[in-house]
Amino acid sequence: MPEGSTSGFLRRREKVNIYKIIDKLFLYLIRFVSMISVLLLVFIVIFILKESLLTFEEVSFYDFVFKKGWRPISENPELGILPMILSTLYVSILALGIALPLGVGSSIFLSCMVNEKNRNFIKPIIDLMAGIPSVVYGFMGLLLIVKFFERKLSFSSGESILAASILLAIMILPYIISTCDESMIKILKKYESTSKALGVSKYHMIRYLILPTAKKGILASVVLGLSRGMGETMAVMMVIGNSPLYPKLFGKGQTIPGLIALEMGGASVNSIHYHALFASGLILMMMLMIINVLFYFIRKMMGTVSEE
Amino acid sequence: MKHLSIKLWSIISISLVMIIISCIFGFLFIHGYEGISYEFFIKEPNGMPLGSEGGVYNAIIGSICFTGIATIFSFVFALSIATYLVFYEKNEKIKSFIRFIIGIIAGVPSIVLGLFGYSFLVVYLKIGISILTGGIVLGIMIFPFMEIRFEKTLLEVDINLIYASLSMGVNRTYTFFKIILPICYKDMIRATCLSASFAMGATAPILLTGAVYYADIPNSIFSPAMALPLHLYLLISEGISLKNAYATALVLIVLLLLINSIPTVLDMIGGNKIVRFIKRRKS
Amino acid sequence: MLDLLSVENLSVRFHDQKVLRNINASFKKNKITAIIGPSGCGKSTLLKTLNTLLMEDHEANIEGKILFDNENIDKIEKEKIRQKIGMVFQNPVPFPLSIYKNMEYALKYYGVKKDERKMIIEEKLKVTGLYEEVKDSLNKSALKLSGGQQQRLCIARALSIEPEILLLDEPCSSLDVKNTKNIEHMLLALKDQYTIIIVTHNLFQASRIADETLFMLDGEVIEFDLTENIFNHPKEQRTKEYVMGIYG
């Protein structure tokens, strides 16, 4: 045994250690809270599923998804959300088409073409965009985009799929930029010195090294942008016109989230209308899931070159 | 030539993005500033139709209440799940199940969460349209984001610090409170504030669960309240008052900026005064 | 001579990969034992297993027996084992606290009173030769110390709770010559009070300070003998090749 002035102090105090009791209590507490929250989350999923599935007792899944006609409160209710599904896809894919080139271009600029100082100045401003609430975006969309269409291009109504897509593109831009930028920075840090040592120019490096290697990051930003876009409610609802028509670029349309938001208050609980709204929510979630799975496989197929 | 096109592409993109941003903010600040006065903050909506005159006092208070409840609710659950997953749960299957469920909830569009809140909390449980209901739905909305950020922060702690602590026979909880929390709390505050600002800006989840067209200052968590985003939406969609709409949007944006600057402010204060105070007291 | 710690038929697997195969060894009280071998041979894993830290890694599959004071460590509380068997890591890992708080950390946990804490901390800092260097700046962040000072602080911290065995995992690998020398001297001085097991990459270090040396290769113990025998009259061909610098 070590001899010294302090030896043995631990043996004297071995009996009760308050921290061991706290450890037990804390473990029980957080295990309990975590269990409750997991149960709650599972319950939410089950609840949404249950309420939606009741719809399909009245109308077949096929008719619901692939037929047109939305008359939920008439004598013979018609429940077909195909126009809404198509509008939702149309708007978000078009928005992505507008936002992706801009986003990738901006992230090239941010990751490769500016110094640390300017980057630290620009990046927070772009992040700020992500923090603007969607109602404010909708407001701006009405005032700037819709008004512009009506006045300058003399449309009969500026509220249209195109207006919604442009607005949505602006809204998903910060997400696309930050996802792409993150993966490009990673690649740059990894290969910059090697590439410089080869004596190639910066733009050559961007073209033949960074862009091809960052495609997984770009793909991830596509998924994120699409998910954000398809779930977006308020902003799109404010500029799209909300008519359950098949989508045309300059025509009005209605997305699934918009449908739910507008009709949720009017649907009496447990009516077919109410269940149909839940079911459209479910369809929206299924669409998101399909997109995620699809891109997961694309990602897998893209082969071995990646930033990781 | 190829190189020039890349250069052009990226410069045009970033310029466009910056122009869009400055348009949005410029427009908001210039027009919003005209509508803002001292009265706008302390008066309730007034006039006919309601909202064409007066201010947004109730909506500010309502928004703060919603955000507060959502943040507290979500914080408690997110922190305990993140801690539990990172430090206590050893079973990989349970871990991936919990992460899977959180992933699903993260993918639920906010309007569907609102629908859930409306039918389950408001109608089935009969809590009614109230701050509590709206707050809970907002809390569910920000929960996955918060949890994922917390988990990421906790996982970033150098594993060797944890091993060094455990190697002295100290248990996990003591390590968590004495070593890990002091390292992580700043990032956690940052994530919490970011989530809070998401909650404050969201409209869809509170449409039928908590926010109403007009309400007095809420006197309990069971009473409904007004919220800035919904107020703004109504002002625009009913075409009540463009001037007040601008002002309301500006107030909302400024509130969000304030929330997001909390961590920086705490950092600044913490870096100087508090630390110096503690040091002085100790020595 | 008493065997304070011994290992019987110890095997460790990560998934399908066997990291330690059938280790048998016993470590003598108040001696310095060096574990040598090329990188990746399982030295650090062995050390972590002795301190039961490896049990925190859920992917590790541990078989076999470890006896501490002739008692199977499965039967003893993990916390107690870790208090008796201290450990110092390859890279210095001071907690992001002040020097004093680093030292105080575990003592507080064990409920040691304030004045007693102060006494112990001073004593342990003196043992590691750090006291003179930092006595005026105990409230300074430990992260501001130099690498060598940090490592000595970590040793002092490990000693603060009076372990009987001290495990060191290549403690000098990131230090300069002077600090290495410091630590070696310190270890020799600590030998009277503690049983020391040190993993090292540096063969000269092993020959300078160790009483006994264990040579490992690919997760197996090749040879375990007095240091002099290992370096001068190795029985195994592989040991001979390693100490002569043919591989590793």
CA angle centred on A74, ends A73 and A78, rounded to 5° = 85
Domain that holds residue A36: 17-71
State whether A86 and A203 are in the same domain. yes
Is it the case that residue A284 has pLDDT exceeding 90? yes
Tell whether C109 is within 8 A of chain B (Cβ): yes
State whether A100 and A190 are in the same domain. yes
Mark yes or no for CB contact A5/C111 under 8 Å: no
Q: Which residues of A touch B201 (CB under 8 A)?
A: 131-136
Average confidence (pLDDT) over B60-65: 92
Looking at A71, A92, A117, which one is the last position of a domain? A71
Q: Look at residue A123 and tell me if it is in a domain.
A: yes
Please name the residues between 15 and 54 in chain C that touch chain B, using a CB distance below 8 Å.
51, 53
Looking at A53, A71, A89, which one is the last position of a domain? A71
Looking at A71, A96, A115, which one is the last position of a domain? A71
Task: Give the per-residue pLDDT at B134.
Answer: 94
- Number of domains within chain A: 2
Q: What sign does the dihedral B134-B138-B141-B143 (CA atoms) show?
A: negative
pLDDT tens-place string over residues A137-178: 999 999 889 988 888 887 777 889 999 999 999 999 999 999
Number of neighbouring beta carbons within 10 Å of residue A237: 27
Number of neighbouring beta carbons within 10 Å of residue A8: 11
Of C82, C46, C52, C2, whose CA–CA distance to C199 is shortest? C46
Q: Which of A9, A14, A20, A23 to mutate to test the interface with C (most CBs of C within 10 A)?
A: A9
Among A4, A5, A9, the residue with its CB nearest the CB of C112 is: A9
Distance CA B163, CA B151 (A): 18
Distance CA B15, CA A268 (A): 49
Task: Give the per-residue pLDDT at B73.
Answer: 94
Residues 6+ apart with CB under 8 A from B160: C89, C91, C93
Domain containing residue A225: CATH number:
1.10.3720.10
State whether A117 and A263 are in the same domain. yes
State whether A150 and A219 are in the same domain. yes
Full-model pTM: 0.88
Mean pLDDT of chain A: 86
Tell whether A13 is within 8 A of chain C (Cβ): yes
Number of neighbouring beta carbons within 10 Å of residue A268: 10
Q: Look at residue A265 and tell me if it is in a domain.
A: yes
Task: Give the per-residue pLDDT at B14.
Answer: 93
State whether A94 and A204 are in the same domain. yes
φ/ψ of A153, rounded to 5, equals: -105, 5
Q: Look at residue A196 and tell me if it is in a domain.
A: yes
The residue extents of the domains of chain B are 2-35, 59-267
Task: Give the per-residue pLDDT at A11.
Answer: 55
Q: Which helix (H) or strand (E) covers residue C9, if one does?
A: strand C3-14
State whether A52 and A142 are in the same domain. no
Indicate the DSSP class of residue C141.
B
The CATH code for residues B59-267 is: 1.10.3720.10
Q: Look at residue A184 and tell me if it is in a domain.
A: yes
Please name the residues between 177 and 236 in chain B that touch chain A, using a CB distance below 8 Å.
194, 197-198, 200-204, 207-208, 229-230, 232-233, 236
pLDDT tens-place string over residues A110-124: 998 888 888 889 998
Q: Look at residue A162 and tell me if it is in a domain.
A: yes
Nearest CA in chain C to B276: C139
Q: What is the band of B271 on the pLDDT scale with cuts at 50, 70, 90?
A: low
Tell whether A5 is within 8 A of chain C (Cβ): yes
Domains of chain C, earliest start first: 3-243 (3.40.50.300)
Write out chain C's pLDDT in tens, 248 residues: 567 888 888 888 888 888 888 888 888 888 999 999 888 888 888 998 888 888 887 778 888 888 888 888 888 888 888 888 999 998 899 999 999 999 999 988 888 888 889 999 999 999 888 888 888 888 889 998 988 899 999 999 999 988 999 999 988 888 888 889 888 989 999 988 899 999 988 888 888 999 999 999 888 888 898 988 888 888 888 888 888 877 65
Q: Which helix (H) or strand (E) covers residue B129, if one does?
A: none
Of B171, C187, C93, B115, whose CA–CA distance to A18 is shortest? B171
- In B108-168, which ranges are continuous DSSP H helix? 110-116, 131-155, 159-166
Is it the case that residue A306 has pLDDT exceeding 60? no
Q: What is the band of A31 on the pLDDT scale with cuts at 50, 70, 90?
A: very high
pLDDT tens-place string over residues B3-41: 788 888 999 999 999 999 999 999 889 988 888 888 788
Task: Give the per-residue pLDDT at A173.
Answer: 95
- Report which of residues B112 and A193 the model is more confident about: B112
Mark yes or no for CB contact A6/C161 under 8 Å: no
Q: What is the band of B198 on the pLDDT scale with cuts at 50, 70, 90?
A: very high
State whether A265 and A191 are in the same domain. yes
State whether A117 and A167 are in the same domain. yes
